[in-house]
Every structure is written in structure tokens, then in C-alpha cells.
């Protein structure tokens, strides 16, 4: 209904994006939702793109993989390839989180993904460094990008207040 209203009002629509508090690919009907979204997009705004921001943890599921192959912008999160760093900073809920498995899944998209990475400085609640801008982190990350062969890479830094006040933005130059 909203797309019909927007079209009737000659409103512009650039991108339909799935993201938010939680993992959009975790919805049990994610594939049918994406299929319906693409069908509606094609009918009302064929020039618009469909994007999904994902933490990449469910891309191994066949239905999720298929859905991510259907969207225009399959944006997959990968802040580092260091498992210790991920456990310290990202604190994945799944105890079975394995960064190497995530990377292999990203590779399986044959370039149909955009890798999104956040760089930052600072320390965690225990005073330990969470800086992922050193040569060691960057070198391993770049090698992994060569394996994944993404269509693009999005690099960003902290943009709003964080639960940990000792985290700091990286500079544009960095």
C-alpha cells in the first residue's frame, strides 16, 4: 500500500533496506519476504535497490543464502578476522560462532557481497586494547578480502555513543 501511495505521489525511492536491532536474516520467513519485496519493487519502483545489512552468521542456511543472492546489495559484516577480537568486542551470542566459517560462507557468494567493516581505537571495559587498525589486523583483513572477492567494501567508524565510553573513532585519513 505504501509503495502505491508513494508512486501516486511521485515520491522517489532509492533503496529498500533490511537492517535494525537484531539480525534480519533470522526471521523464519526471510526468503519469502525478500521474494515479495523484489516482486513489489519491480512493480512499483524497478529502479530502486534492495539491500540487506547482515552480521553474516546465518548465511550458511540455504534459504538465507538464496535470499541474499536475490538482493542487489548483500552487505555482510566483517570487522576483523581475529577470533579473539570478535569474542572481545562483538561478543557473538552464538557460542558456535566461527570466523573462518563466516569467511568461507562469504566466499560462496562469488563476489555477490559487500563487506562492511568498522575500524576503531580504544580499550574495552577491562582496559584492553580494541584497536583494529594496526598492520597485523589490516594485513590479515586485506588477505581475507582477496579470498572473498566482494563487489565492494564499506569502511566506517563509530558514529554514535557506545556502551563503552573508552572507544574512539578512527580518523578519515586512517
Mean pLDDT, rounded, of the chain: 90
Spatial contact of 37 and 27, defined as CB atoms under 8 Å apart: no
| Rounded Cα–Cα distance for residues 97 and 100 (Å) | 9
Measured between its terminal Cα atoms, the distance across the chain in Å is: 45
Q: Can you read off the three cell numbers belonging to residue 49?
A: 535497490
What is the predicted pLDDT for the residue at 174? Answer: 85
| Rounded Cα–Cα distance for residues 104 and 122 (Å) | 29
3-state SS, the chain, equals CHHHHHHHCCCCCCEEEECCCCCHHHCCCHHHHHHHHHHHHHHHCCCCEEEEEECCCCCCCHHHHHHHHHCCEEEEECCCCCHHHHHHHCCCCCCCCCHHHHHHHHHCCCCCCEEEEECEEEECCCCCECCCCCHHHHHHHHHHHHHHCCCEEEEECCCCCCCCCCEEECCCCC
Reported confidence tier of residue 173, pLDDT bands at 50, 70, 90: confident
pTM flag (> 0.75): yes
Segment 52-75 mean pLDDT: 96
21, pLDDT greater than 80? no
| Rounded Cα–Cα distance for residues 66 and 33 (Å) | 12
What is the predicted pLDDT for the residue at 62? Answer: 97
pLDDT in tens, 78-118: 988 877 777 666 655 665 678 899 999 999 999 999 999 98
149, pLDDT greater than 60? yes
Amino acid at each position: 500500500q505504501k509503495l502505491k501511495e508513494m508512486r501516486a505521489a511521485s515520491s522517489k525511492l532509492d533503496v529498500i533496506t533490511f537492517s535494525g536491532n537484531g539480525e534480519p536474516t533470522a526471521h523464519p520467513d526471510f526468503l519469502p519476504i525478500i521474494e515479495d519485496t523484489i516482486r513489489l519493487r519491480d512493480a512499483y519502483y524497478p529502479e530502486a535497490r534492495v539491500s540487506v545489512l547482515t552480521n553474516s552468521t546465518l548465511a550458511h542456511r540455504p534459504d538465507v543464502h538464496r535470499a541474499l543472492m536475490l538482493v542487489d546489495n548483500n552487505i555482510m559484516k566483517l570487522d576483523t578476522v581475529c577470533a579473539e577480537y570478535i569474542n572481545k568486542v562483538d561478543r557473538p551470542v552464538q557460542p558456535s560462532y566461527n570466523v573462518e566459517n563466516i569467511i568461507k560462507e562469504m566466499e560462496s557468494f562469488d563476489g555477490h557481497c559487500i563487506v562492511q567493516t568498522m575500524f576503531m581505537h580504544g580499550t574495552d571495559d577491562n582496559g584492553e586494547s580494541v584497536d583494529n587498525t594496526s598492520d597485523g589486523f589490516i594485513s590479515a583483513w586485506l588477505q581475507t578480502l582477496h579470498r572473498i572477492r566482494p563487489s565492494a567494501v564499506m569502511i566506517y567508524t563509530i558514529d554514535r555513543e557506545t556502551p563503552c565510553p573508552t572507544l574512539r573513532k578512527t580518523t578519515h585519513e586512517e
